[in-house]
Chain A
């Protein structure tokens, strides 16, 4: 009798021990988008929330037998808020991964939180090369692009196709300086010369003195290493002073909403690099763009499918690993080659965690060429990933362990 009693206790204890991992596995996979929904990039990045939702939906919404949970937070484009939100997401909401995080300082802050919490982060929006460089670590991946890719691909292409005499106008902060470094390196590689550069404070209203200086130098290409409001202002004034009759303009970053906000006649025949366009021939891209149009009334920018891809590839990695344990998932992602509507193919380099793919060179269409309101670009060049991205041996990344 007593013996039987003991056996029951053992069985109960045994079940209890077994039950603990069972309960742990019951925790659903939790995905979070942390992005700028009300700051300066909101017009481009706020919709990334919808892109991630679509990826979860397309994946089937279920993973490891549980419904995938989705979170999103607004960081207002401020690094301190991003840091706080990331902490809350990892600690209170216990999310498994944070995706996007535009603004390089914000991105680096969240990457540090990911390292401390031993949870994943995929940077899509922030362009700093540090993610796959000096500040790389096992828990952080960098998706879709970085500043090196933006600068080098259009830099190489521009030196070959537009001219080898350049003048640059650079936004005077870390991002602008970083771009300047990579742009001029690409120019040197092609044997071009830089006629001059001016660093201009953020938020400058009047670019005309700088533009006139550039005009006097008589370059073949004017490179505007700024974005958003500054990019729009400087381009508008370059047109006003007739610079575009004498030279071509290359932008560091340019999206359809900017073109529509300032007017396609202002940006006509300017050049920029990007990782995707809704008319690109990647299978599934057009369907995605059509769905997006139906849902939101406009075509997606390339940050949208990049976030879709990052979310989808993470979910697939969890499925392959059979667990959401970060170490197992990271090992599934490292060295993985995939095809989706964003990258065809995309490859996640194990050396520096950079997701590399083709880079595209766009030409902004003239008003009369635009048949559909969001069809503002023509793809004029493709740069293979080996040229668009830095050699992983030279990034300065020492990956380390978990």
Chain B
């Protein structure tokens, strides 16, 4: 029984990892740019398709995909920010919602036209196939790999924000972008960078999810809804909040199935409602932030 529980717990961590990668970007973009990016799920899906293109079509290595795809998706994100989103920062937030929602549909349909509605095959790379003995249980290598990459990416991101000058500018920008602008820093470029990083992380999540999920045009849609829940629980704009809430939601979905399967998916919304009642700004949300 305990072995079974541990396996389920690990599954929760792995699922949570994907939520973490997605929600960090979503949360950071909201924190800095003040927009809710509905196209985030579509960027995640693009990441999976880009990985398929690298591995399946060009028969490249999976590791190359992990390095190249986030960069490519990050660039696409930066391009979207400079060409489209930038024009709407000063207007009512509703326009941003409409734009990103439209972008999501456009990207999804473009992929559907380009690759077809059925999806593409993508299997676990042979080097990461099979299970590894953890002493107390066997667990699929690839799932541990997802978790490891997420930990690395999260640590890297936190170090970048805390230890570098650029990181401190970004942090200052989320506090008060007008002030940063007044101090002579080109805040526009910082906005592009943040959107790009967020997109890159979504792309990375897409690459990592491709071998364990169905690579299909609509794959981002259902994931995005859960990711919003993660961001709300973690606190809008908080990276630590995203990491912790992401893992909590992953565990809730997985362990919930053991306790009461019909409630498992509902449980995360119940959880969100409780958090909103006790801490309306989420676990790590700050006061007076975009309010």
Contacts and interface: CB of A to CB of B under 8 A. Distances in A.
Given A229-B119, A229-B214, A240-B212, A203 B131 contact: no
Interface in B247-279: 253-255, 257-258, 261-262, 264-265
A258 B212 CA distance: 15
Given A209-B11, A229-B219, A240 B142 contact: yes
A229 B265 CA distance: 18
A166 B265 CA distance: 25
B140 interface: yes
A258 B118 contact: yes
Given A203-B222, A216-B4, A265 B261 contact: no
A10 interface: no
A42 B122 CA distance: 21
B124 A262 contact: no
A43 B116 contact: yes
B123 interface: yes
Contacts of B212: 236-237, 240
Interface string B71-100: 000000000000000000000000000000
B15 to A, nearest CB: 5
Q: Main SS of the interface on chain B?
A: helix
Interface string A199-216: 111011110111011001
Interface in A224-279: 229, 232-233, 236-237, 240-242, 257-258, 260-263, 265-266
A40 interface: yes
Which range holds the interface residue count of chain B?
Answer: 35 or more
B257 A229 contact: no
B168 interface: no
B223 interface: yes
B49 to A, nearest CB: 12
Contacts of A266: 121, 123
A369 interface: no
Given A229-B216, A257-B118, A198 B140 contact: no
Contact of A233 (B4, B7, B213, B265): B213
A206 B254 contact: yes
B29 to A, nearest CB: 22
Interface of A: 38, 40, 42-43, 172, 198-201, 203-206, 208-210, 212-213, 216, 229, 232-233, 236-237, 240-242, 257-258, 260-263, 265-266
27 contacts: A38-B117, A40-B218, A43-B116, A43-B118, A199-B262, A205-B15, A205-B209, A205-B223, A206-B253, A209-B255, A209-B257, A209-B258, A210-B257, A212-B4, A212-B8, A229-B214, A229-B216, A233-B213, A236-B213, A236-B214, A240-B140, A240-B142, A241-B140, A258-B118, A262-B119, A263-B122, A266-B123
Given A204-B222, A212-B8, A261-B121, 13 more contacts: A43-B118, A204-B265, A205-B213, A212-B7, A233-B214, A240-B124, A240-B142, A258-B118, A261-B120, A261-B216, A262-B214, A266-B121, A266-B123
